[in-house]
């Protein structure tokens, strides 16, 4: 694999990832006239004392690109007089600093990951080779952002579909280097620590073992990965994908797990697209990697040692033409009430497996 780093016109970093070392050179310059990011674009973090959690503010994102027509997509390769965020006339996988980041000014970092130059593709339509290259990019950026002094947690994720809030249709994801440990991860770390104190065992290991032993919610299993609907899933259709060998983040995956991932992930995404029948259209979803927080000190080291890398995949669609809205109970109090039993969701995800 080859990694080529360059800069966009305003100084933001751009990285091309190619599967072959002899791929075409990615040396096209950014011919746009872009001013450096203004000081006013710096984000702010405040702390909510009642919830004991951080809240980010990024007012400059109000002006970000919103549903451009296909011929003005900023994630397609540059062509002729149309200059985009990708100066090259073609690419395989590209990662660049977000022009409208949620976190900036040295406190965190936000990046965009373009999975393919094909505007009309989807992650599910990628080859296993291209999915492996995306995994390589996620891993490489996780390693880099983990070393960033302003980053406490790295989250590689894909938002897919207008129902999720996606404003660019081109197949892409994002990587957030949070300047804090996110609330979901902080709660998980505390729960894992309590379980270790109480039982001497790892909570993630126990949960995975219990799901595999029960079997009713397991939807896909290989020698290296297990995918299941959690016993207490919040979303109508929600799958968690764990490597069989517990590791804290993507950088720690072994070669066997890394090689087996593309086929498993693509199969899960294709099943999601078949959940609601051929007339329902592409299934909107969020897919994101939960990784160990970053930090120094004994508590941070203990959290990393006990953490389990896993992918969370879920959709806000609960049925054909029906969405799961986070209304009063969910948005107001964080108390989820789901319309689909996890066992029924798992049954359906097994029904739509590739023949």
Per domain, the residue ranges of the chain are 1-355
pLDDT-based confidence at 40, cuts 50/70/90? low
Q: Is the pLDDT of residue 166 over 70?
A: yes
Helices (H), the chain: 128-146, 183-199, 203-214, 255-274, 298-306, 333, 342-351
Q: What percent of the chain has pLDDT over 70?
A: 99
Mean pLDDT for all residues in the chain: 95
- The pLDDT value recorded for residue 170 is 97
Non-local (6+) Cβ contacts of 229 within 8 A are 217, 219, 237, 238, 239, 240, 342, 343, 345, 346, 349
- The pLDDT value recorded for residue 22 is 94
The count of residues in the chain is: 355
Give the side-chain half-sphere CA count within 13 A for 6.
16
- The pLDDT value recorded for residue 39 is 66
Q: Dump pLDDT digits (tens) for 128-146.
A: 999 999 999 999 999 999 9
Asked whether the beta carbons of 313 and 287 are under 8 A apart, the reply is yes
Instruction: Point out the residues that are catalytic.
Output: 172
3-state DSSP call for residue 130? helix
Give the side-chain half-sphere CA count within 13 A for 45.
16
- The pLDDT value recorded for residue 247 is 98
pLDDT-based confidence at 343, cuts 50/70/90? very high
Q: What pTM was computed for the model?
A: 0.96
**Rg of the chain's alpha carbons, rounded to an integer?**
20
pLDDT-based confidence at 355, cuts 50/70/90? low
Q: Is the pLDDT of residue 41 over 80?
A: no
Asked whether the beta carbons of 31 and 87 are under 8 A apart, the reply is yes
Cα 220 to Cα 237: distance, rounded to the nearest angstrom: 14
What does DSSP assign to residue 200? S
DSSP element (H, E) containing 81: none
pLDDT-based confidence at 60, cuts 50/70/90? confident
The residue-averaged pLDDT of 198-216 equals 98
The CATH number of the domain covering residues in 1-355: 3.30.428.10
Q: Dump pLDDT digits (tens) for 225-258.
A: 999 999 999 999 999 999 999 999 999 999 999 9
- The pLDDT value recorded for residue 64 is 85
The sign of the torsion formed by the CA atoms of 174, 251, 181, 146 equals negative
Asked whether the beta carbons of 45 and 54 are under 8 A apart, the reply is yes
- The pLDDT value recorded for residue 12 is 96
């Amino acid at each position: 694999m080859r990694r080529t780093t360059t800069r966009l016109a305003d100084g933001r970093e751009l990285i091309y990832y190619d599967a072959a070392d002899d791929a075409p050179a990615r040396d096209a310059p950014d011919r746009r006239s872009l001013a450096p990011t203004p000081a006013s674009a710096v984000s702010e973090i405040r702390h909510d004392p009642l919830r004991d959690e951080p809240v980010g503010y990024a007012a400059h994102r109000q002006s970000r690109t919103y549903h451009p027509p296909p011929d003005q997509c900023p994630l397609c390769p540059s062509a002729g007089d149309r200059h985009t965020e990708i100066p090259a006339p073609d690419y395989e996988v590209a990662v660049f600093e977000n022009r409208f980041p949620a976190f900036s000014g040295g406190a965190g970092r936000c990046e965009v990951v373009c999975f393919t130059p094909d505007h009309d593709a989807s992650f599910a339509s990628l080859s296993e080779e291209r999915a492996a290259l995306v995994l390589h990019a996620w891993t490489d950026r996780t390693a880099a952002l983990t070393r960033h002094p302003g980053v406490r947690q790295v989250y590689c994720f894909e938002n897919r579909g207008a129902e999720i809030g996606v404003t660019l249709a081109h197949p892409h994801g994002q990587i957030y280097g949070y300047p804090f440990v996110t609330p979901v991860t902080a709660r998980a770390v505390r729960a894992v620590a309590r379980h270790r104190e109480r039982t001497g065992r790892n909570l993630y290991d126990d949960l995975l073992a219990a799901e595999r032993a029960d079997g009713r919610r397991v939807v896909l299993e290989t020698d290296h990965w297990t995918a299941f609907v959690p016993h207490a899933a919040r979303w109508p259709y929600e799958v968690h994908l764990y490597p069989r060998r517990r590791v804290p983040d993507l950088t720690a995956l072994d070669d066997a797990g890394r090689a087996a991932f593309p086929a498993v992930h693509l199969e899960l995404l294709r099943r999601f697209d078949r959940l609601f029948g051929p007339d329902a259209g592409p299934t909107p979803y969020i897919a994101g990697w939960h990784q160990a927080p970053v930090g120094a000190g004994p508590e941070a080291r203990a959290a990393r040692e006990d953490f389990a890398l896993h992918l969370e995949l879920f959709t806000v669609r609960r049925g054909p033409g029906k969405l799961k809205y986070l209304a009063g109970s969910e948005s107001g109090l964080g108390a989820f009430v789901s319309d689909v039993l996890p066992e029924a969701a798992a049954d359906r995800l097994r029904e739509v497996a590739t023949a």
